[in-house]
Amino acid sequence: MNLPLKPTNYRAKLTKLSPITSQILARIYKHSPSPNIITYTTFIKFLGESGYAIEATELFAIMKESHPPDVISFTVLIRILCDSKQLDQALSLIQEMPKHNCKPDIFCYNILIDKLGEAGCEELVNKFWSEMKSNGICPDVVTYSSLVKSLCVAKKFDEALYILEYMEMNTAIKLNTYAYNTIIKSFLDSGRIDEALGILGRMEIRGCSPDLCSFNLFIKYFSDLGEGLQAYVLLKEMFRRGIEASEGSYRMCVLGLVREGKVREVLELIEKIRNSSICLSVCTWNRLIMWLGKKSRINEAYMVFMGMKDLDEITMNIVIHMLYNHGRFDEAWEVFNLMKDMKIEPSTVTYNILVHGLGKEGRVREASKLVNQMEADEFISPDVITYNCLLDGLCKAGEVEDACKLLLEMAHLCPNLLGSVTKKKEEEDTRVVERPIKVRCVCPVAVDLKGYDGVQLLNGTNASTSCAFPGLDEKLLPIDAKKKVSTSTFL
């Protein structure tokens, strides 16, 4: 049998293709000097599943030079293009199929009807629906389910229910949960909970038991509304029916209970998760710890932390900040030391929390040493928040002179953090200084750490802060001011 040979201009082609297509093509020819259509189609599918629709199209074009595409290769590429929202290119491939003696089959039509329906292209859905029937192809349960989805997207719920009734009455169609779940999701997305619950009951009557997807749709709906208890009832119903909950089931239910503020149920569900094989993401655990901290359930939050398997720097920052906020200073430092043992590198945010905490304790000398360590560190540098925290601690401890010195050092050593010294007009009050220092900065978080909710601490907000120190000479300060200087003086 004569196999098609490698194109003579193979090397030239590689230079015209994208790097990924070139690599794939080189690998194909390395393993098989004369690849067949199955090899090409396999790699086209691989590129599509990896998110490389353009490269898949390039490889398809190369394949056509030596192998006429068949309906399978066309269908694979059509699905890739539809998934990447390139519907025009997918439709052009349909028009190209007759040139290669190919006609769409049931699988090809199902993909087109499904994806065009999702995109709201109702006219094209009707066109391909009529075309497949005129070509003698009988719609199956997937086709009807896709049609139901298309009608739901177009908000034609009555017509969708009519198609569903037809499917229920037609013995040739073996109805499954996909069609029911499709219309349930559409009703829930439109906020029509009564109709969605009606479809759920209809499934039971028809002998089609709700599956994991059915329950997750309702759990997500109630959780998003903040009705966590209702979501929890559905999760328990899943357990009763022997349906194994997924990570998404637990996560959505937990977040719904958090939104509703149900601490007891959250703790109960955490225990269930611990006793299951489900692993929640570290992001979900972090949110739980922050929330429990806000609820002043520090012991429970700390237990959640101690039970986590995968920890990151954000987890440690949340816990250290929470413990310091509630006066549990020794435990906060234990967590910081645990970071070192677990080889989790602390960040500037971590040190800022510690500097602020030491200032609250009145341990300003230790806070200063920590800042000095940051300045000497090759990988971590103090930022404006670090210095503001230290200034706050010095002022609260009555170390106004040291605070003034620090501010001068900042002006001298950190010109990128501090603005220039500006003049102000002399006022009648002799206590007003003629040349106040202005500090202007763009901070990743608010300067005052009091009241951090964790989200600000981790994500940060751009805030332009103007700080005016009312004088460098302590003698110029009124007696009361000497006792009450704090960061409010700077900010």
Among residues 44, 73, 103, the one where a domain terminates is 103
| 198 lies in some domain | no
Residue partners of 288: CB distance under 8 A and separation at least 6 = 254, 258, 266, 270, 301, 304
| 328 lies in some domain | no
- What value does the mean pLDDT of the chain take? 80
Residue whose C-alpha is closest to residue 184's, from 167, 196, 194 = 196
What type of residue is 291? W
Q: Which two tokens stand for residue 73?
A: 């290769």
Among residues 59, 85, 103, the one where a domain terminates is 103
What distance in Å separates the CA atoms of residue 451 and residue 363, rounded to the nearest whole number?
20
Strand-strand pairing, 463-469 and 437-443: antiparallel
What distance in Å separates the CA atoms of residue 121 and residue 65, rounded to the nearest whole number?
33
Helix (H) / strand (E) containing 124: helix 122-134
| 82 lies in some domain | yes
Q: Which two tokens stand for residue 58?
A: 């390039």
Give counts: helices (H), strands (E), the chain: 27, 2
Once rounded to an integer, what is the mean pLDDT over residues 418-446?
36
CA 431 to chain centre: 53
pLDDT in tens, 361-394: 889 899 889 988 888 888 888 888 888 888 888 8
Q: Please give the pLDDT value at position 412.
A: 65
Instruction: Using the predicted structure, report yes or no on whether residue 167 has a pLDDT greater than 60.
Output: yes
| 179 lies in some domain | no
| 73 lies in some domain | yes
Domain of 84, in residue numbers: 1-103
The residue to which tokens 């670090």 are assigned: 386
Q: Please give the pLDDT value at position 413.
A: 59
Could you tell me if residue 226 is left (phi over 0), alpha (psi between -120 and 50 degrees) or otherwise beta?
left
What type of residue is 216? N
Q: Please give the pLDDT value at position 378.
A: 81
Once rounded to an integer, what is the mean pLDDT over residues 12-37?
76
What residues are paired with 464 via a beta bridge?
A: 442
| 36 lies in some domain | yes
Under DSSP, is residue 465 helix (H, G, I), strand (E, B) or coil? strand
Once rounded to an integer, what is the mean pLDDT over residues 246-253?
95
| 281 lies in some domain | no
Among residues 68, 103, 138, the one where a domain terminates is 103
Residue whose C-alpha is closest to residue 70's, from 31, 33, 44 = 44
- Angle (nearest 5°) at CA 40 between 37 and 45: 120
The residue to which tokens 């068949």 are assigned: 70
What distance in Å separates the CA atoms of residue 445 and residue 427, rounded to the nearest whole number?
34
| 313 lies in some domain | no
Instruction: Using the predicted structure, report yes or no on whether residue 3 has a pLDDT greater than 60.
Output: no
Structurally, the chain folds into a number of domains equal to: 2
| pLDDT grade for 225, boundaries at 50, 70 and 90 | very high
Q: Which two tokens stand for residue 125?
A: 């859905």
